[in-house]
Amino acid sequence: MKPCPAVPRGRTKHEGRSKTLPAGRMSETVFPAAAQRTAGRRFVLPLERMNNPHPDRGDPITGQVFWYSRLFMAAARDGAPVLAARKPRPTCGSGARSRHRKLFRTRHRFGMAARSVSNSPLRWCQDMIPQPFRPPRLLSIATAVPPEVLIQDHIIQESRELLQARFSQFDRLAPAFQNAGIDTRHSVVPLDWFRHPHGWVDRTEAYAAGATRLFREAAGGALDQAGLSAAQVDIVVTVSSTGIVTPTLEALTARAMGFRPDAMRVPVFGLGCAGGVSGLSIARDLATARPGAVVLMVAVETCTVLFRLDRLTKADIIATALFGDGAAAVVLRAGVDGADAQPELGQGRQHMWPDTLGIMGWTVEETGLGVVFDRSIPTFAEAELRAALDALAPDRSVDRYVCHPGGAKVITALETTLDLAEGVLDIERQVLSRYGNMSAPTVLFVLEAVLRSGQRGDLMALALGPGFTLSTLPITVR
C-alpha cells in the first residue's frame, strides 16, 4: 500500500489523472495533527476521494475509512495539519443523488447516522491524530513510619551495653551516634528485639510483617490524597532492598489493599539509598508509556532488622547510629487533562562511577545481610558529584535541590559541591533528625516536606546509592 500523497488545495490525484476542482466543491474542516511541526504544510483530501470505494473491497463505507486513514497517517508521519472534507455530497445529476441515497442507506444498515461528519467514519479515524503530550504528574505523596520510637540517647546507652564488651573500638566510634544529627528513629521491632541474636528466618519474618504494614499505610494514604481507590491502580512499583520475600510486598498486600487481579506488578530490589529517586523515575517512565494509567510507587525499608550482634565492624557501628525504618508512596499519572497544577515529573537520569562497587551495598552472609558502608562517601560526593550532575543535566537551572540525607556529613558535602550556602538543605536535616536514614524512602519524606512548604519552580531530586550511583529526577512545580 502506497502512502497517501500530499495533494495541493483545489486539486485531486486519482489513478494517475489530475484535475482542478471548482472552488465551491471544496468543503473543509481543520483537525489538529502535530501542529507543533506544521512548517506551512497541509494535507487535503478532496470530496471525490471520500466517495471512492475501498481499492480491494469496493465497499463505500470501508472506502471512506480507508481514505481517511491514509490521510491521517500521512499527516501524522510528516507532522502537518489535516484538512479533510466534511460529509460527502452528491456532485450533480440524478445518478450522483441516487448513489448518495444508497450510501445513506448503507450507513444506516451499519447503525451510523449520516447527518453530520461527527457520526461518519471520520470519527473512527480521529483517534489516529497525534494528541498533545501531557507529561506525568505527581498526584499525591504520603509517608509512614512504624510505631516503635528509638530515641538516640537511649540507643547510645543500649549500644554501649551490648557492644562495648564485643567491640574494643566502640568508645572511639561512639561519637558517631552524637554527631549523626539524629534525635529519633522508628523501628518495626521493639528495642528488646536487638538484645538477642537472629538469623535469616527471624529477620525475614520481621521484614515481611513490618514492611507489609508500612506498605498498606503509605499506599493507602497516597491513594486517599489522590481521591482514588486501590482498584483504580493499574501499575504498582515496589522498591525495597532490606529484605527478600517471594511473592513480593505488593502481592502480599494485594488482597488487603484491593488491587485488581490485572494490575501490573514491578518489584525493584538493590537500589538502596538511591531507590526513592530511581523508583520514582521508573514509575514516571511507566506512566509516560501508558497515558491515563494510575501508577503507584511504594518505597519500603526496614533497615533496623539487619542489626547484627555477631558482626561488629566500623560499618556496622555507623549503620547502628544512622538507620531507621519507614515507607513512602507516590501516585502519578500522565495524559490527563486538568492536572496542570500538580508537580510535573521530568525524565530521570543515572550516573554510575566505575570501580566504586565497594563504597555501598550488602554482603550475603550466614545469618543475614552485612552492610557495606564506606566512610569516604562524604569526601567522594564532594569531589565527584558536581561533574556527574553537570553531565546529566547541563545548563539546567535549579531552584531547590531535594536530596537524600544520608547523614550529617553527607548533607554538608552536598551543600559544598552544589555551591549552596550552609543551612540551605534545612528540610533534609529536619528529616534526618526526626527519622534517621531510612534508605530509599528518605528522599520522598524530604520531597513531601518541600512541597508542603509551598516551594515552587524547578526542583531536582537526587540520591546516591549502591553502584556507586547518582540518581536524579527533575520536578517542576508551578
Residues 267, 249: Cα–Cα separation, whole Å = 8
Residues 175, 164: Cα–Cα separation, whole Å = 13
Range of 60's domain? 11-128
Average pLDDT, integer, range 39-55: 48
Q: Is 1 within a domain?
A: no
Residues 351, 389: Cα–Cα separation, whole Å = 8
Same structural domain for residues 100 and 173?
Answer: no
The predicted pLDDT at position 337 comes to 66
Same structural domain for residues 89 and 158?
Answer: no
Which CA distances in Å does 455 have to 17, 164, 448? 64, 45, 11
Same structural domain for residues 102 and 181?
Answer: no
Q: Is the pLDDT of residue 51 over 60?
A: no
Domains: count for the chain: 2
Nearest-CA neighbor of 432 among 190, 185, 240? 185
* Last-in-domain residue among 128, 157, 185: 128
Q: Is the pLDDT of residue 21 over 80?
A: no
Same structural domain for residues 168 and 88?
Answer: no
Q: Which range (309-313, 461-465, 469-473) has the least confidence? A: 309-313
Same structural domain for residues 62 and 148?
Answer: no
Q: H/E element holding 446?
A: helix 442-452
Average pLDDT, integer, range 334-338: 74
Q: Is 392 within a domain?
A: yes
Same structural domain for residues 100 and 217?
Answer: no
Residues 360, 177: Cα–Cα separation, whole Å = 20
Count the helix, strand and coil residues of the chain and give each as a percent rounded to the nearest 5. Answer: 40, 20, 35
- Say which CATH number the domain at 183 has: 3.40.47.10
Instruction: Provide the percentage of residues in the chain whose pLDDT is more than 70.
Output: 71
Same structural domain for residues 50 and 189?
Answer: no
Q: Could you report the per-residue pLDDT of 419-433, keeping only the tens digit for each?
A: 999 889 999 999 999
Q: Annotated catalytic, 273?
A: yes
Who's near 471: CB < 8 A, 6+ residues apart?
271, 274, 277, 278, 281, 348, 349, 350, 462, 463, 464, 465
Average pLDDT, integer, range 50-65: 52
Among the options 4, 125, 273, 403, which is catalytic?
273
Phi, psi of 381 (to 5 degrees): -60, -40
Q: Is 5 within a domain?
A: no
